[in-house]
Amino acid sequence: MWSWELFWDSFSALLPGLWITFAATVCGALLAYVLGLVFALIRQVRVPVLSQITFGLVEFIRSTPLLVQIFFFYWVVQPWMGVQWSAFWSGTIALGLHYACYTSEVYRAGIDAVPKGQWEASTALSLPRRRTWTGVILPQAIPRVLPALGNYTISMFKETPLLLAIGVIDIVGAAKDFGADHYSVEEAYTMAGIFFLVLSFPSSILVRRLERRFVKH
């Protein structure tokens, strides 16, 4: 039986979970942005050995489900590395690593889209390779990929409930606990859905605006 009282009560009960979801998304996204760029540069510059390792890692992660990777990182990789991070950090790193493999391909596409003439002009001016990357190529490539990075961030936000599998109490985890405590699940899960909708929808609009802006320029 639907209860409006439980529905409104679930709002405050889900707020700590919202904070966890938000923190996992921000930290995971930062990791994905930075690591994705590093992966892309390793492959574009064709760093020996590292380039092949990165290629293998990217293909492995893109070919396996995120849930399996979260379990694998928590139960296999951590013990193998001899570390014991909290479920939150383990899950967030797995999430960031997963999306880094997708953002690396986005960065690569952005770098490839910079006209060949920009490389040639840099060579003609004798600019050092590092400065060509940092001063010429990346400042042109990164703005082009911002909309795609934004879309991946929204996807990441919507996939954080997978961290519940290793015990991270995010919005969905908080809704599950609230439902169990009050013997009624529909109010809290509805509230969780509204949380996701209210945060994702404006973000999607923002990303679409970004896309339009960069298509125009």
CB of 214 to other proteins, least distance (A): 13
Stretch that binds other proteins, among 41-49, 116-124, 156-164, 172-180 (CB under 8 A): 116-124
Look up residue 108 and give its two tokens: 């690569």
Nearer to other proteins, 83 or 125 (CB): 125
When binding is defined by CB under 8 A, the residue of 121, 180, 197, 198 that contacts other proteins is 121
Stretch that binds other proteins, among 132-140, 148-156, 170-178, 202-210 (CB under 8 A): 132-140
Stretch that binds other proteins, among 16-24, 53-61, 62-70, 119-127 (CB under 8 A): 119-127
Write the secondary structure of 33-101 as one string of H (helix), E (strand) and C (coil). HHHHHHHHHHHHHCCCCHHHHHHHHHHHHHCCCHHHHHHHHHHHHHHHHCCCCCHHHHHHHHHHHHHHH
Stretch that binds other proteins, among 15-23, 117-125, 172-180, 204-212 (CB under 8 A): 117-125
What is the distance between the alpha carbons of residues 27 and 24, in angstroms, rounded to a whole number?
5
Look up residue 126 and give its two tokens: 């004798």
Q: Does 125 contact other proteins by CB under 8 A?
A: yes
Backbone phi and psi for residue 216, each to the nearest 5 degrees, phi listed first: -60, -40
For 43, what's the count of Cα atoms within 13 Å in the CB-facing half-sphere? 23
When binding is defined by CB under 8 A, the residue of 65, 79, 128, 167 that contacts other proteins is 128
- Written as one letter, the residue type at 100 is A
Q: What is the DSSP letter of 176?
A: H
What is the distance between the alpha carbons of residues 59 and 61, in angstroms, rounded to a whole number?
6
CA distances from 209 to 84, 144, 212, 213 (A): 42, 13, 5, 6
Q: Does 62 contact other proteins by CB under 8 A?
A: no
Look up residue 99 and give its two tokens: 């999306």
When binding is defined by CB under 8 A, the residue of 4, 124, 215, 216 that contacts other proteins is 124
Segment 39 to 58, residues that bind other proteins, using CB under 8 A: none
Q: Does 123 contact other proteins by CB under 8 A?
A: yes
Size of the site for other proteins (CB under 8 A): 17
Interaction pattern, residues 140-159, with other proteins; x per rule: CB under 8 A: x-------------------
Question: What does the binding site for other proteins look like in residue numbers (CB under 8 A)?
Answer: 115, 117-118, 120-121, 123-128, 131, 135-136, 139-140, 217
